[in-house]
Amino acid sequence: MVVNTASFCGYTGQYADLQAVWAAYRDRGLVVVGVPSNDFGHQEPGTAAQIKEFCQVNFAIDFPMADKEIVKGAAAHPFYAWARETLGERAAPKWNFHKYLLDQDGNLVAWFPTSIRPNAPRVTDILDDLLAPKS
């Protein structure tokens, strides 16, 4: 799961949900990667060290956090440009805490807008399918 994050967003509480999903699924193979971005409302102004401290102190985050990146427009990080090209403009982030799910082979399989919490059943149902033991 790749999620663009922002420390001073009204959706910042989703950090706790991301941590819960990470804790529940990491032993089954899930990796959650937070990607701080200042693209929406300038709600991630800090340095990497400040962002890490904020996440640890306020939400006890221990899932991986990338460096701060641009996630929209022509200068978007290559992952976000690829996701937009692969899934279409509709699937591009419109705000902070936009989520992408990838399968074990690196294929994009779903995206969820900011309003869908990372522990919502529509997300965890897909995680359960993706991470089910192979027979």
Catalytic residue numbers read: 58
Q: How far apart are CA 48 and CA 110, in angstroms?
A: 28
Burial zone of 89 (CB within 10 Å; 0-12 exposed, 13-18 middle, 19+ buried): exposed
Cβ-based neighbours of 69, under 8 Å, separated by 6 or more = 4, 35, 36, 37, 76, 77, 80
Q: How far apart are CA 14 and CA 11, in angstroms?
A: 6
